[in-house]
Amino acid sequence: MSAVTPGKPAKPVERSSEPWRQRLIRSLLYGRNVDRAAKARARVGLAMLAFASVYLLIGGRLVMFAIGADVHSARRGGAQDVVATARPDIVDRNGEILATDVKAPSLFGEPRRIIDKDEAIELLTATVSDLDEAEVRERLSSRKGFVWLKREITPKQQQEIHKLGIPGIGFLRENKRVYPTGNEVAHLIGLVNIDNQGIAGMEKWLDNNGLADLHRAGFATDRLQKPIELSVDLRVEHALRDELLKAKEKFHAKAASGIISNVKTGEIVAMVSLPDFDPNNPKEAHDPERINRLTTGVYEMGSTFKAFTLAMALDSGKINLNSSWDARGNLHYGKFTIHDSHMLGRFINTKEVFTYSSNIGAARIALGQGVEAHKAFLAKMGQLTRLRTELPESAAPLVPRRWGELNTVTIAFGQGLSVAPLQAVMGINALMNGGNLIPPTFLKRSEEEAAAMAKRVIKPETSDKMRYLMRLNAEIGTAKKADVPGYYIGGKTGTSEKVINGRYAKKRVLNSFTAIMPSDNPKYQILVMLDEPQPLPETYGFITSGFNAVPTGGKIIARIAPLLGIEPRFDLPPSDRLILAASRTTQ
């Protein structure tokens, strides 16, 4: 018989036998009078949401690691090694790239993560032949978290190492400095070290003028930096270097160098010192024969210094172009004898002192001014102190400790005082541009900016006379072989015997040639130097400047004048009519 009475609802089964602990748990989980199916669906949805959140979090972290891998690697190495940072491009005055950055992979290791170091070392050294096994072993055996194994590896090497799949071995993309023009502007640009830090030339100037501070502050980590515009013209630089290479080979010279300068702004338009080096191959830069002879070398400049001697005397007003000087015989001073290369045996005027390059005449002119006046004038012309430019490489002049009359006699014609060639160029510019001494620069500079920093050192009329003398020397004097038709150049030669074992060696000379163009309104100065040129049959056995440096200067002028925008002018009157006639005085 049924225990349920028909027509009445069934009573729930008594669970008096269920322990009270289970009843409590069941009540907490399910509650009372709740739709268990709805609550089950809610729990499933909550579980799905939890799992989705976990996967999203993991995915996000993976993306962050992928994007920030280089940053984290850099931070790991920051305590020990410098990561090569970005540098601004360096361009010439026309925007041609002289130095730029490219990305290159570097190989690093994390010693704490490497499982089998012997196997890792064996695989790495077998794949990259120029890895030193002992050095790699030493680095991977350290307790450091990050070590460099090789900087700037090739993409092929990166691919081969990547295929090895060695845990704890990775790659970091760094900035590598490259120089598209190679040797062309090597001494001017300089170079960087493995960490992309400037160590010479304009590259070092960049770091010394704020770039290094930006890197340390973290504000120079991208390529969005404004290019550095230099004053150099790559086209002119190439022409100058090409002609100097030819001259060095032709005359079997030990070295050759040259500068082209804007006389009105002080800008260096081209600078070459041979032998030079390829900044893409830094090892060449350590060769002592490859120094920049124009800024780090100091030399006795020979007869080019006679320009300073005559300018000093003319500016004082004590002499004029027609003053007479005794050149009938050698000048004896104590136990020393001053002589001319070509003895004239007569009195000569100031113009002839310049065009015949008379040592005797120059010495008498300087003695007439006095020792103190001579020293003061050369100091005013910037020849007695170290010249500072953007280039960190510079040398101080060699000045006599005790400057007496004998020093004045020899310095008057370019012996006994050694200066950097760029220093002499600065002084000659002042003699040619109207009398304003303007510091040279390797950065672009306007005439207005130059005028603001110029210092007057001689009278404008003295400058007129010096330009006249330079042109006269190209017409009838020692610079005739450089007189390129149409460009109205002026020039002064210099042949300086080198001091070997304390004595002047007649057959080992440093030749120089200083030219201006055009002489009536100079825009550019050209300096050419040949170190120890050898005699040739075509030079009749002579090694003086007029037979090698001067014709080299003429070839350079013929190539660069059109590049510099100087139009040829023919059938111009001689210097006394074109230059002196326009001057305030002809005396």
CA nearest to 490, candidates 417, 426, 433: 433
Half-sphere exposure of 385 (CA within 13 A, CB side): 9
CA–CA separation, 438 vs 264, rounded Å?
A: 8
Minimum mean pLDDT among 70-84, 182-196, 262-276, 334-348: which range? 70-84
pLDDT at 213 over 60: no
Indicate the pLDDT class of residue 72, thresholds 50, 70 and 90: very low
> Is the Cβ–Cβ distance between 473 and 448 less than 8 Å?
no
Give the residue with greater pLDDT, 382 vs 66: 382
Indicate the pLDDT class of residue 568, thresholds 50, 70 and 90: very high
Q: What is the pLDDT of residue 174?
A: 76
CA–CA separation, 359 vs 415, rounded Å?
A: 10
Q: Which of 273, 303, 323, 519 is catalytic?
A: 303
Packing angle, helices 306-316 and 359-369, rounded to 10: 40
Indicate the pLDDT class of residue 107, thresholds 50, 70 and 90: confident
Indicate the pLDDT class of residue 124, thresholds 50, 70 and 90: confident
pLDDT at 79 over 70: no
Measuring CA to CA, how many Å separate 142 from each of 135, 139, 162, 376, 528? 11, 5, 22, 63, 55
CA–CA separation, 54 vs 64, rounded Å?
A: 15
The SS3 call for residue 449 is helix
Q: What is the pLDDT of residue 140?
A: 87
CA nearest to 310, candidates 325, 299, 300: 325
pLDDT at 78 over 50: no
CA–CA separation, 132 vs 497, rounded Å?
A: 50
Residues in the chain: 587
Measuring CA to CA, how many Å separate 45 from each of 30, 37, 41? 17, 13, 6
Measuring CA to CA, how many Å separate 545 from each of 232, 414, 511, 533, 537? 27, 14, 5, 9, 15
Strands 90-91 and 228-229: parallel
479 CB-near residues (< 8 Å, 6+ apart):
470, 473, 489, 490, 491, 492, 493, 513, 515, 546, 550
Token representation of residue 237: 């630089």
> Is the Cβ–Cβ distance between 457 and 436 less than 8 Å?
yes
Residue range 473-482: mean pLDDT, rounded? 94
Indicate the pLDDT class of residue 156, thresholds 50, 70 and 90: confident
Q: What is the pLDDT of residue 83?
A: 55
Q: What is the pLDDT of residue 423?
A: 97
CA–CA separation, 329 vs 2, rounded Å?
A: 160
pLDDT at 286 over 70: yes
Q: What is the pLDDT of residue 18?
A: 63
Q: Tell me whether residue 303 is one of the annotated catalytic residues.
A: yes
CA nearest to 490, candidates 514, 463, 458, 523: 514
Measuring CA to CA, how many Å separate 203 from each of 179, 207, 403, 447, 551? 11, 7, 39, 26, 34
Residue range 212-222: mean pLDDT, rounded? 50
CA nearest to 542, candidates 511, 502, 500: 511
Query: Looking at the whole model, is its pTM more than 0.85?
Result: no
CA–CA separation, 484 vs 557, rounded Å?
A: 7
Q: What is the pLDDT of residue 586?
A: 46
pLDDT at 74 over 90: no
pLDDT mean across residues, the chain: 87
CA nearest to 256, candidates 556, 571, 577: 556
Indicate the pLDDT class of residue 363, thresholds 50, 70 and 90: very high
Question: At 508, which helix (H) or strand (E)?
Answer: strand 503-517
> Which runs of consecutive H residues, i.e. helices, occur in 272-349?
306-316
CA–CA separation, 196 vs 82, rounded Å?
A: 9
Which residue spans within 64-161 are E strands per DSSP? Answer: 90-91, 97-109, 147-150
pLDDT at 205 over 80: yes
pLDDT at 22 over 90: no
Minimum mean pLDDT among 3-17, 265-279, 352-366, 445-459: which range? 3-17
Token representation of residue 14: 């008594």
Give the residue with greater pLDDT, 363 vs 140: 363
pLDDT digits (tens, 9 = 90+) for 394-450: 999 999 999 999 999 999 999 999 999 999 999 999 999 999 999 999 999 999 999
CA–CA separation, 125 vs 148, rounded Å?
A: 14
pLDDT at 536 over 80: yes
332 CB-near residues (< 8 Å, 6+ apart):
338
